[in-house]
């Protein structure tokens, strides 16, 4: 899979994937992501991710991680940001927990 994302585009994609993992993207989750990236990037990546199914999203994430060097510090920060997306609306449901465990395995 050929994804020529920048690091910021990749991070935005992962955070939006996390926000949509329980099929409910809350305003709090979106606002958290928007606090990390500009609105133009958010909207562009959001358009991409709503067209991808879970399999496509996971393949894109795996492919990017395989093709790009990610430092331990970058991985830790990304996982922290994913947690913050999940906690943005005040609750973490079972789907979000499962997605976090899966993403953690892929990223770490």
State the pLDDT at residue 44.
Answer: 96
Q: For 67-105, how does the pLDDT look when each residue is reduced to its tens digit (9 = 90+)?
A: 998 899 999 999 999 999 999 999 899 999 999 999 999
**Is the model's pLDDT at 26 over the cut of 60?**
yes
Q: Provide the pLDDT for residue 20.
A: 94
Q: How many residues can be counted in the chain?
A: 108
The CA–CA distances, whole Å, from 10 to 20, 74, 93 equal: 15, 12, 24
State pTM to two decimals: 0.93
Long-range interactions of 27-30: CB distance < 8 A, separation 24+: 28/88, 28/89, 28/90, 29/85, 29/86, 29/88, 29/89
Going by C-alpha positions, the residue among 105, 107, 82, 90 that lies closest to residue 21 is 82
| Domain layout of the chain by residue ranges | 7-107
Q: Does domain 7-107 sit in CATH 1.10.238?
A: no
- The reported pLDDT for the residue numbered 87 is 94
pLDDT score at 1: 54
pLDDT of 108 reads: 87
Q: For residue 39, is pLDDT > 60?
A: yes
Contact 82, 14 (CB under 8 A): yes
């Amino acid at each position: 899979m050929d994804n020529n994302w920048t690091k910021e585009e990749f991070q935005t994609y992962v955070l939006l994937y996390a926000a949509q993992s329980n099929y409910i993207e809350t305003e709090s989750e979106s606002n958290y992501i928007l606090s990390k990236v500009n609105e133009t990037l958010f909207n562009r990546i959001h358009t991409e991710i709503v067209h991808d199914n879970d399999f496509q999203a996971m393949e894109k994430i795996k492919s990017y991680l395989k093709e790009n060097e990610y430092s331990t510090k970058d991985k830790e920060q990304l996982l922290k940001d994913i947690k913050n997306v999940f906690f943005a609306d005040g609750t973490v449901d079972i789907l979000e927990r499962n997605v976090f465990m899966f993403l953690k395995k892929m990223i770490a």
